[in-house]
Chain A
């Protein structure tokens, strides 16, 4: 342990602690900008400078390790001046459209300027003219707002292992972008949106589609139905100021009704259906010598990653559409038939924790109902925006239940929202289908939690099923390399593109970090525990749709509506072309 003095306070911390961290323990929150709790030290912004006695220059506290007897001052006139100058220099090169910026009131640069009392900018304004990128349906980039903190670079390279965002050019000209001025749709971007969570300002965000949804809701000819992904119910509350991980299922349904949706359904219903289809697909592959290991296919960022990076492994992906797309296809066929509504008049909106889902919904093959299966995808953040715009007092809403029949679901479906959840849901059903016996213990602990790669073995009446779970694409890459080497012998692998699974998705409220992910995960497993039904094959609405419409898992109609195919993609397309 090391004892040092910070602003006159003695503090004792383990050796190797940074001055920034030690100061926090001494009750001083030194301002930061390039620092991110989940990332390694970059020390590029210098906002966190402090005075260390005996040191000629100011030191960046985020990178400066403590030492015995060190005397640190964090709040002197010279430091306040230095910090304000650093922020003023950033503001001098930053567009001043804060009132119209998507990150208004959620911008770290803005709150830093407020915190440091910046009232004037003593430098000439020099805003870079850099072309923006709206080439993808999921994300926009506005590099003119980039403050070159490199947080997105770390996320894209180290967390996701995709490595398409880098600083380009030099000095004042520097901003972060894909090489050669390519748009996100021209390269191997997975559209996961983790860079949005890394970005402290409004340089990257989702393509806002709330206007399209407002227009549909105002159109009397349209029957507007909405589906909500599992992970949204433990995150939406954060958009209206509730603590991370608060369970707001009933209030979310009530808010959607107030916004004017004609029916409020649940993606959890088709998550249960996914378990039936994907579980039977796995059993079929195991029995008939099919391609193994089989990978889950719910996560559109993971799918796009495979198409770009491991196209030779596409036959390993389950052919099941994601629950979002299954829902869309059934809303415009089964539900249209039941409700007696012309599918051409049905407009399907999804509320997703995900930016890649916007791309998925626009894939040309996602029209098996004869119409676009899903018309518009909104992120959790966009729904938060609509709720705020409508003036809905969210926390005062009475809970409302989902509509029948596409709103009935089980705990197995809810846990799709956390890493390991699809695997656990599949095992709950596969065990009972294969053995014919009830599960001795419903919770599969080894596949839960935030460890990067999780492995388990399950005895299915003499057959040992070896499974693996990975989340975040760096972990996915490690799993793929082990699959390629053939050493692991897995049968079934769940991959979620985003760290933590969908609860940490690129469309979730800001901030999303490890601490927040843990809280949302707790919420997910609590919802599961409290539901009366916790196994997908016990969902009565799933039973009903097979009896009335689909006939059987992997049947003819299922293949038509619920299964899909994949497209090999280049890693770098020609300029202006599609990758």
Chain B
């Protein structure tokens, strides 16, 4: 962790350390700022909250919104719950993997896209759905994927 990142993490910790249950907001802050939770950052959080480092890692790996590895500029989250599955998510996933030439859980070599699964994003009415960072795209078919990706290329 560079000096700059360390100071940034420190500032995020300082912002939330006195709220009740500070761990999640701190990790969210770091995730937003740096795109992932590095091991060094998690050690820093553990030390300042006086918790075992492994406990922070435990929380970080439990929530799908946290990543312990660096991710692409755009994170594509595909809903893997039942309604999306029934409405054709497997074909959409296959098309995304083909178009990006990566498997789910991987990041494109140019660092632009990461492909991940997520639990229900609450828009079953337009299933199958994906999120690209904070944008929602619904009613997808394999043939609509090129157009969606085109907005971010």
Contact = CB atoms under 8 A, between A and B. Distances in A.
B152 interface: no
A354 interface: no
- CB-CB nearest 6 A-B residue pairs: A179-B57, A163-B52, A166-B58, A179-B54, A166-B54, A169-B61
A172 interface: no
Interface string B29-61: 000000000010011000000011111111001
Given A163-B52, A572-B43, A572-B53, A179 B62 contact: no
Contacts of A180: 39, 57
A178 B54 contact: yes
Interface in B55-103: 55-58, 61-64
Interface in A530-579: 571-572
B62 A170 contact: yes
Contact of B58 (A167, A187, A571): A167
B55 A166 contact: yes
Contacts of A179: 42, 53-54, 56-58
Contacts of A571: 53
Main secondary structure of the interface of B (DSSP, over half): helix
A169 B54 CA distance: 12
A179 B54 CA distance: 4
A224 interface: no
B54 A170 contact: no
B1 to A, nearest CB: 13
Contact of A168 (B43, B51, B58, B64): B58
A264 to B, nearest CB: 42
Contacts of B62: 167, 169-170
Given A180-B39, A572-B43, A168 B55 contact: no
Given A179-B57, A572-B43, A170 B52 contact: no
A236 interface: no
Contact of A163 (B43, B54, B61, B64): B54
A164 B61 contact: no
A189 to B, nearest CB: 11
A165 interface: yes
Contacts of A157: 52
Given A157-B52, A169-B62, A179-B53, 20 more contacts: A163-B52, A163-B54, A163-B55, A164-B52, A165-B54, A166-B52, A166-B54, A166-B55, A166-B57, A166-B58, A167-B58, A167-B62, A168-B57, A169-B61, A170-B62, A170-B64, A179-B56, A179-B58, A187-B54, A571-B53
A157 B52 CA distance: 9
Interface string A158-193: 000001111111100000001110000001000000
A571 B47 CA distance: 11
For the side of the interface on A, what is the size category?
Answer: 10 to 19
Nearest to A161: B52
B70 to A, nearest CB: 15
B84 to A, nearest CB: 17
Contacts of A187: 54
A542 to B, nearest CB: 43
23 contacts: A157-B52, A164-B52, A164-B54, A166-B54, A166-B55, A166-B57, A167-B58, A167-B62, A168-B57, A168-B61, A169-B62, A170-B62, A170-B63, A170-B64, A178-B54, A179-B42, A179-B54, A179-B56, A179-B57, A179-B58, A180-B39, A180-B57, A187-B54
A167 B43 CA distance: 17
Contacts of A166: 52, 54-55, 57-58
Nearest to A176: B58
A187 B52 CA distance: 11
A572 B57 CA distance: 13
A168 B42 CA distance: 14
Contacts of B58: 166-168, 179
A429 to B, nearest CB: 40
Contacts of B54: 163-166, 178-179, 187
B10 to A, nearest CB: 19
Contacts of B51: 163
Contacts of B63: 170
Most chain B CB within 10 A, of A166, A167, A170, A571, is at: A166
Nearest to B56: A179
A166 B55 CA distance: 6
Contacts of B55: 163, 166
Nearest to B39: A180
Nearest to B57: A179
A179 B68 CA distance: 11
Interface string B139-150: 000000000000
A165 B57 CA distance: 11
Interface in A52-110: none
Contacts of B52: 157, 163-164, 166
Contacts of A168: 57-58, 61
Nearest to A572: B53
A164 B52 CA distance: 7
